[in-house]
Amino acid sequence: MIGKLNHVAIAVPNLEAAAALYRGALGAKVSEPLPQPEHGVTVIFVELDNTKVELLHPLGEKSPIAGFLEKNPSGGIHHICYEVPDINAAAERMRAEGKKILGDIKIGAHGKPVIFMHPKDFNGTLVELEQK
Ligand code: CO
């Protein structure tokens, strides 16, 4: 069912420092910070040939990554995102497999429908499925 790795999202305590690290030490192509108030994060995209890395920093009062950064003050991998051809079929399959979907299907950071799967069902990793 899953296709390409769409992105790896890393929560970072300092966006500027993280951007400088990827641009400098790793020589990566790094975007400007993009505030996404509806998702409670500011994102910097690191463009790779085969996928991307998203550096996430909390934005606003109820950021979904604030708690994660409290537990992981130096940052860490927050989730990975796989592409699926059909989000409704993917959600159906996850339910049939007895896997817990966090919330409902929603429109994700790229304007595409996504679901998030509970880490307890996926080896401790928060998994995002995005319709390609
Ligand atoms: Co994501």
In the chain, the DSSP E strands lie at: 5-11, 29-30, 34-36, 41-47, 52-58, 76-84, 101-107, 113-117, 127-131
Residue 58 Cα to ligand 1 middle (Å): 14
Q: Does 70 qualify as catalytic in the annotation?
A: no
Is 106's pLDDT higher than 90? yes
For the stretch 4-25, pLDDT in tens is 999 999 999 999 999 999 999 9
CB-proximal residues (5 Å) to ion ligand 1: 9, 81, 128
Which residue's structure tokens are 């390609």?
Answer: 132
- Give the gyration radius of the chain's Cα atoms: 15
**What are phi and psi for residue 5, nearest 5 degrees?**
-75, 115
For the chain, the domain total comes to 1
Report the pLDDT value the prediction gives residue 41, as an integer from 0 to 100. 95
Which are the contacts of 113, defined by CB distance < 8 A and separation ≥ 6? 87, 105, 106, 107, 130, 131
Q: State which residues form the domain around 110.
A: 5-131
Residue 127 Cα to ligand 1 middle (Å): 9
Residue 131 Cα to ligand 1 middle (Å): 12
Which residue's structure tokens are 């991307």?
Answer: 52
Q: For residues 84 and 101, give the distance between their C-alpha atoms in angstroms, rounded to a whole number.
A: 15
For the stretch 51-100, pLDDT in tens is 999 999 999 988 999 999 999 999 999 999 999 999 999 999 999 999 99
CATH code: domain of residue 105: 3.10.180.10
Q: Pick the catalytic residue: 54, 83, 128, 130? A: 128
Report the pLDDT value the prediction gives residue 109, as an integer from 0 to 100. 83
